[in-house]
Amino acid sequence: MQISGVVAVHNEAEYLRYSLPALRHVPFDELIFVLDRCTDDSEEIIAKSDLGNSKIVFKEEQKWAFTRAGETFQMGFDRARNDVVFALGADLILAPRALSAAEDLMQHPKVGSVFFGFTQRPIRGIWRRIHEEYINLLKRHLLDRVSPFKMEFTTGVYCFRRSLARLRDAPAEYDDLHDQIRAKGYKAVYVPDAGIIHLRAGLSREKQIWHGRVRARLREPLIKVALHSIVNLKPWTLITFLRCRE
């Protein structure tokens, strides 16, 4: 099965030095890097990585209201030459067995997508380690086991058939994608652990601020946003929500 890999990149130089070498061992038919207005040396690092089956696409502006990464990924999906596409972040080390699992599952004609669960992360620094171990406990060992809907507890790495769905400007774009696929009678298969390593410690301040703005625009209840921010240790989501509320 030929699969196109799409990598969304926004100032990821810190992580690309680790994630790119791993991609040499994952046999994608092609790799598409979509650079979202990077101001660091992400482009140079990708160009020097010597991944012969890769190309770079540039995103010049943000049009979607809710999901910057979703719009970035969709640009890559639109330019892929294969119907089966694999979305992965620049801050992830992808294990070859993740692609193998996707290939095996996607052989079934009624499987429309595969998505991967939360994974452990290599963390430096005492506070960051405490934070990440808390998140690991919360998501992987608690919520992942008791929730009937595991979408929001994934790494954001997923594989799907382009002919069945598109990312849309929704607050949780890949949840929406899997819902589109299920609505057409296909399965979205969950793989709890495929050895994926997430290099980023927690949700960055920039992304917390973005999430706070989105929640304010959607006029979510204060109590819902407050509980989300407190439980997940995301203070800037709540702070931004309060500042942006009408």
112 and 11 in a common domain: yes
Helix (H) or strand (E) holding 127: helix 126-135
pLDDT at 146: 57
pLDDT tens string 102-117: 999 999 999 999 998 7
Residue predicted with more confidence, 156 or 238: 238
- Mean pLDDT in the chain? 86
- Residues in the chain, overall count: 246
pLDDT at 156: 78
In single-letter form, the type of residue at position 123 comes to I
176 and 230 in a common domain: no
CATH number for 179: 3.90.550.10
> Does residue 243 carry a pLDDT above 90?
yes
Q: Contact at 8 Å (CB) between 73 and 79? A: no
DSSP annotation of 148 reads S
Structural domains in the chain (count)? 2
Q: pTM higher than 0.85 for the full model? A: no
pLDDT at 132: 65
Instruction: Mark which of 198, 218, 236 sits at the end of a domain.
Output: 198
Find where tokens 């046999």 sit: 27
pLDDT tens string 16-37: 988 999 999 999 999 999 999 9
177 and 86 in a common domain: yes
131 and 67 in a common domain: yes
218 and 188 in a common domain: no
- Look up residue 184 and give its two tokens: 């057409």
119 and 238 in a common domain: no
213 and 190 in a common domain: no
- Strand 92-93 relative to strand 197-198: parallel, antiparallel, unpaired? antiparallel
214 and 193 in a common domain: no
63 and 122 in a common domain: yes
pLDDT at 119: 64
pLDDT tens string 35-85: 999 999 999 999 999 888 899 999 999 999 888 899 999 999 999 999 999
pLDDT at 185: 97
Which of helix, strand or coil describes residue 32?
A: strand
153 and 91 in a common domain: yes
Instruction: Mark which of 198, 213, 229 sits at the end of a domain.
Output: 198
pLDDT tens string 187-229: 999 887 788 887 775 667 877 888 888 889 888 899 989 988 8
pLDDT at 160: 97
**Nearest to 170, CA basis, from 86, 48, 244, 69:** 69
Find where tokens 């030095």 sit: 17
133 and 213 in a common domain: no
pLDDT tens string 123-152: 556 776 677 667 666 665 665 555 554 444
222 and 156 in a common domain: no
pLDDT tens string 2-18: 999 999 999 999 889 88
Residue-number span of the structural domain to which 209 is assigned: 205-244
